[in-house]
Structure 1
Amino acid sequence: MGGSSEKEKALTPKQARFVEEYLIDLNATQAAIRAGYSEKTAYSMGQRLLKNVEVQKAIAAAQSKRSDRVGVQAEDVLRELVRVGMSDLRKAFTADGKLRPLNELDDDTASAISSVKVVTRPSGEVDEHGNRAVEYVHEVKLWDKNSALEKIAKHLGMYVERVEHTSPDGTMTPAPAVAIYELPDNGRTKAD
């Protein structure tokens, strides 16, 4: 009889190696190859291993351990995605259009900034000593907001995958043909 008193099945050495390799890039086919499975069967073997309950438990445990070790949880990643997805570039500038000093930016705005480039160029003005004035142009680049919003929406289940039922010419794809066969009377009655 199965139950909680039964010992969990241990992974084979190859399965354990698959788990280690899978955590590198989350690619089941490549993990299967690196774990020593045949290249010919690596795709199907990788899929089969991912469906194995013991392998799933080992992957989940390893991911949890790694997450604890580096101090990053799913909520942390989601929080950063929200910072990027809901960012407002206007918060990086003062009312007169000057870039705020970076130490004055709130955490959400600072997290959304990918890079800041400062370009100096002559302004055309000359001071009383005959020196040409320089103006500073700040180019602020944000992380990809659309990508962040898409990831948030997927996480929240807002995207539903749909199957296309139209052909390239715009018409509906025909339903599969249905064959109806009439079975010959075998001489039985309903009472039989």
Structure 2
Amino acid sequence: TEGPAILRKPQVRAYLDECAEALSQKADVTEERVMRQIGHIAFSDIRKMFDSDGNLKSIHELDDATASAVQTVRALAADSQGRGAEAEVLQTREIKLVDKVRALEMLAKIHQMYVERRETKHAGLEDLLRDIQDSENNTPMARLRAREQRGSVES
């Protein structure tokens, strides 16, 4: 129950911010690095995962940008063709990539490329306009003008 009050104290907040910054530096978490990773995911190209013959490259053959877009690699089945020394083992792998659409949405939001719109209904719009007009007529300047106009009419 006292936690939120303690967190609002400037010296506590400053200490926690300092600790968070130290951890970020220690873990090498920077805004630039995060943006780069999101960019790798958003603009990943699955064709970079295959060689010129259409065979899947080994994970160690992938460049950093392509590898960072891989969420999971799973071996599904293994089968062998041929006999003896000429036998070839074929493996079926399933590759799941990180969600590109989500990464693109994050980049668009960070760069303020679109604005989220929320629909609202104004049931009392006429009342609101009337209140605004009434408040405009009820300012000190509006009352002074009204008094001056009455004074000129009376003379």
Normalising TM by the smaller chain, what interval? 0.5 to 0.7
Q: Secondary structure at the match of 1:140?
A: strand
Give the Å deviation of 1:73.
Answer: 0.9
1:143 to 89, 98, 102: 98
Aligned residues: CA RMSD: 3.7
Identity of aligned residues (%): 30
Q: Which runs of 5+ in 1 are unaligned?
A: 1-32
Q: Which amino acid aligns with 2:104?
A: L
Tell me which residue corresponds to 2:53: 96
Q: What's the CA shift for 1:147? A: 1.4
Distance between the aligned counterparts of 2:55 and 2:123, measured in 1? 57
Q: CA deviation at 1:70?
A: 1.9
Say whether 1:175 aligns with 2:116. no
Segment of structure 1 superposing worse, 112-121 or 99-108: 112-121
CA displacement 1:166-190 (0-9 Å, x = unmatched): x5xxxx866252357699xxxx841
AA aligned opposite 1:80: Q
- 4+ residue segments displaced more than 3 Å: 52-62, 132-135, 179-183
TM-score (norm 2): 0.66
Q: Work out the CA distance in 1 between the residues paired with 2:37 and 2:20.
A: 19
Residues 87/128 of structure 1: CA separation in 2 closer, same or farther (3 Å cut): closer
Higher helix share: 2
| Residue 16 of structure 2 is aligned to residue 63 of structure 1 | no
1:152 corresponds to which residue? 107
Does residue 74 (structure 1) correspond to residue 28 (structure 2)? The answer is no
Amino acid in the other structure paired with 1:62:
C
* Number of equivalent positions: 136
**Alignment CA distance shift 1:175-1:163 (3 Å):** farther
1:115·1:140 contact (CA, 8 Å) conserved in 2? yes
Higher relative contact order (CA 8 A, sep 6+): 2
Aligned position for 1:11: none
